[in-house]
């Protein structure tokens, strides 16, 4: 349960440190005192989106700290252990909101993502907002409430996983069937294009190699002329060849090396250069002797290169990318060739998934029907206690008018109500008045909360539109929920406030240009004054105080 709430620099709250206890706690105060900011703080700490508007104008950042005792929250403890965030059955949550709207979240002093914070929060706190009766009119919310009451989440996840697998397989199947209508024409074109590229034999005759050979044949005369002239310069010219000049240098240096031995190394280098010059000239001569003009080969190369360039334009790729294009076309043809096999495999798969879906969806429908019957009995009994003595609440579960699988199963779930005897039950939106809808909503929230394991439940003015003796019953129901969990309730009703184990008073203080809200735990005497204020308004009389004392005295049953 939540044992401490600490807030700083959040909207109208300058600083607040609030210890909380088990049982039922109520928060009361004048309208505009700041009760809502406490719930805002809780929401932020539990993962709501943040923005810069939450930071006090004179503050650098807003910070909310929550401390939980996990002795009554085994699922939260398990989640912390699985995520390596556990700290000896303690859970500290911290949320910081900066002036620029950016925020940071921490669990047991470890930085976490907002998604992780939200995942943990679901196992710690459940908040019922003051507009819950409006969301109740949504059929998806009605289905969710039935599934929650029936503990259907595991089965529901299995149904939805099966649905998604079927949906993906069926989508692929339909696309393949549609594509198969013009498959033969595409296959014929692909085979022609593949044969055309295969004839080029590009794996052995690449465009780069062919271009290189063509360039050599096209410039053969220049190669022979310049090559022969270089042979003359290197070796064959008796007077001016490189070889002859090296010989003269070696001879001259050898003579003086007798007097300067350090020149011997230079002579050695020149001798090696002469040998390499002679070898280079010989290799060049052999190369030139091997060259031969080949007009037929030249013609063949020009034809092959022309075909490659034409096909590269046809396929909109560079000439050297044609081998990759061939592989791509072969893969597409292989896919089309085996498309019929894939279609048959998908038909089998979709039929199997369809069978699994309907089996799981059938189990889900049966659990919904059983739980729906139980739920409608409990809610009917509850709304009769809440001032609708002839009221009947029905959970209508019917099959969707389609054979196509749907997310969340094949059921349509709707809540119906008959407020008066003899009248047929109709959907909530068409029958219930505002006050009746508030009571029905509260009844649903109380009934569906009985079997939940969430250790802390927060009700934000869910008793709006209710008064008199019914309000007292509402308070009793909320108090009964707190027997095995912590319940916090924001209320304007003295009948509800008097039922609480703990009473927190929210008040606003204004000084100069600043306004701040504070919260304090009321003792018995102060509590009488607050209940009297809620009963009598501005002028509190002795009779009002006596009435407040009586309400507090009568609200404490033997527990």
Tens digits of residue pLDDT in 455-507: 898 888 777 767 778 888 888 888 888 888 899 998 889 999 999 999 999 88
Q: How far is the C-alpha of 26 from the C-alpha of 33, rounded, in Å?
A: 15
Predicted confidence at residue 537, as pLDDT, reads 67
Greater pLDDT, 336 or 541? 541
pLDDT at residue number 485: 86
Residue 307 has pLDDT above 70, yes or no: yes
| pLDDT higher than 70, residue 433 | no
- 60-64, 233-237, 449-453, 484-488: the lowest-pLDDT one: 449-453
* Contact yes or no for 494/552 (Cβ under 8 A): no
SS3 category, 527: helix
171-205 exposure pattern, b = at least 16 Cβ within 10 A, e = fewer:
eebeebeeeeeeeeeeeeebeebbeebeebebeee
Number of neighbours of residue 375 by Cβ within 10 angstroms: 22
pLDDT tens, position by position, 19-75: 999 999 999 988 766 777 788 888 899 988 888 888 888 788 999 999 998 888 888
* pLDDT band for position 165 (cuts 50, 70, 90): very high
The Cα 553–Cα 499 span in angstroms is 10
Residues 447, 422 contacting (CB under 8 angstroms): no
pLDDT in tens, 387-421: 888 888 999 999 998 889 999 999 999 999 887 77
- Please, what is the Cα angle at 504 between 499 and 508, to 5 degrees? 135
pLDDT given for residue 182 in this prediction: 66
Position 243 scores a pLDDT of: 86
Checking if the pLDDT of 143 tops 80, the result is: yes
Query: How many whole angstroms from its chain centre is CA 322?
Result: 42
* Of 349, 315, 345, the residue nearest 332 (C-alpha): 315
Packed helices 139-149 and 339-385: angle between N→C axes, nearest 10 degrees: 80
Architecture of the domain whose range is 1-124+454-559: 3-Layer(aba) Sandwich (3.40)
Instruction: Give pLDDT tens digits for 325-382.
Output: 889 888 888 877 777 778 889 999 999 999 999 999 999 999 999 999 999 999 999 8
Enumerate the domain spans of the chain. Answer: 1-124+454-559, 184-337
Looking at residue 558, what is its pLDDT? Answer: 45
Rounded mean pLDDT of the chain?
86
Q: How many CB atoms lie within 10 A of CB 120?
A: 24
**This prediction's pTM:** 0.61
Q: Name the strands in the sheet holding 24-28, side by side, starting at the edge strand that comes first in the sequence.
A: 125-128, 456-460, 486-490, 24-28, 502-511, 514-521
Q: With 80 as the cut, is the pLDDT of residue 264 above it?
A: yes
Q: Has residue 450 got a pLDDT over 70?
A: no
| pLDDT tens figures, 93-112 | 999 999 888 999 999 999 99
At residue 258, φ and ψ (nearest 5 deg) are: -65, -30
Question: Which residues fall within 8 angstroms of residue 219, CB to CB, at 6 or more apart?
Answer: none
Q: What percent of the chain has pLDDT over 70?
A: 94
Lowest mean pLDDT among 236-240, 306-310, 454-458: 236-240
User: How large a percentage of the chain has pLDDT more than 90?
Assistant: 32
């Amino acid at each position: 349960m939540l044992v401490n709430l600490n807030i700083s620099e959040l909207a109208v709250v300058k600083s607040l440190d609030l210890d909380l206890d088990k049982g039922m706690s109520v928060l009361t105060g004048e309208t505009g005192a700041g009760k809502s900011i406490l719930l805002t703080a809780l929401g932020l700490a539990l993962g709501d989106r943040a923005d810069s508007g939450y930071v006090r104008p004179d503050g650098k950042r807003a910070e909310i700290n929550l401390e939980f005792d996990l002795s009554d929250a085994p699922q939260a403890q398990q989640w912390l252990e699985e995520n390596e965030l556990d700290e000896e059955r303690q859970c500290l949550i911290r949320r910081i909101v900066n002036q620029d709207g950016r925020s940071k979240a921490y669990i047991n002093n470890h930085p976490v993502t907002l998604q992780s914070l939200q995942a943990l929060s679901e196992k710690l706190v459940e908040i019922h907002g003051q507009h819950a009766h409006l969301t109740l009119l949504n059929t998806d919310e009605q289905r969710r409430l039935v599934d929650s009451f029936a503990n259907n989440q595991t089965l529901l996840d299995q149904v939805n996983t099966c649905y998604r697998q079927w949906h993906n397989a069926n989508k692929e199947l339909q696309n393949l069937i549609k594509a198969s209508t013009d498959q033969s024409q595409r296959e014929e074109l692909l085979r022609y294009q593949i044969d055309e590229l295969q004839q080029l034999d590009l794996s052995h005759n690449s465009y780069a190699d062919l271009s290189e050979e063509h360039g050599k044949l096209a410039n053969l005369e220049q190669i022979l002329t310049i090559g022969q002239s270089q042979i003359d310069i290197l070796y064959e010219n008796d007077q001016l060849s490189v070889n002859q000049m090296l010989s003269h240098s070696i001879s001259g240096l050898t003579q003086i090396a007798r007097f300067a031995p350090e020149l011997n190394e230079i002579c050695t280098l020149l001798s090696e250069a002469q040998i390499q010059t002679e070898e280079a000239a010989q290799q060049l001569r052999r190369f030139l002797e091997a060259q031969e003009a080949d007009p037929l080969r030249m013609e063949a190369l020009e034809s092959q290169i022309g075909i490659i360039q034409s096909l590269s334009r046809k396929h909109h790729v560079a000439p050297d990318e044609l081998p990759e294009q061939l592989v791509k076309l072969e893969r597409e043809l292989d896919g089309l060739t085996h498309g019929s096999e894939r279609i048959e495999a998908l038909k089998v798969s979709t039929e199997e998934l369809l069978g699994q879906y309907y089996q799981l969806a059938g189990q889900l429908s049966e659990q919904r029907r059983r739980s729906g019957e139980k739920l409608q009995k409990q809610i009917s009994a509850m709304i009769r206690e809440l001032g609708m003595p002839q009221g009947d609440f029905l959970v209508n579960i019917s099959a969707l008018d389609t054979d196509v699988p749907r997310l969340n199963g094949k059921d349509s779930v709707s809540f119906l109500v008959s407020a008066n005897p003899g009248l047929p039950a109709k959907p909530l939106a068409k029958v219930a008045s505002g006050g009746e809808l508030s009571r029905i909503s509260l009844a649903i929230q109380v009934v569906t909360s009985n079997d939940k394991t969430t250790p802390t439940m927060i009700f934000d003015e869910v008793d709006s539109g209710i008064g008199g003796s019914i309000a007292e019953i509402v308070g009793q129901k909320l108090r009964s929920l707190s027997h095995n969990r912590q319940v916090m309730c924001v209320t304007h009703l003295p009948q509800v406030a008097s039922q609480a184990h703990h009473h927190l008073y929210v008040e606003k203080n204004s000084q100069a240009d600043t306004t701040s809200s504070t919260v304090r735990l009321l003792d018995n005497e102060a509590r009488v004054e607050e209940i009297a204020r809620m009963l009598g308004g501005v002028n509190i009389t002795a009779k009002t105080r006596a009435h407040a004392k009586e309400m507090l005295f009568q609200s404490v049953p033997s527990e």
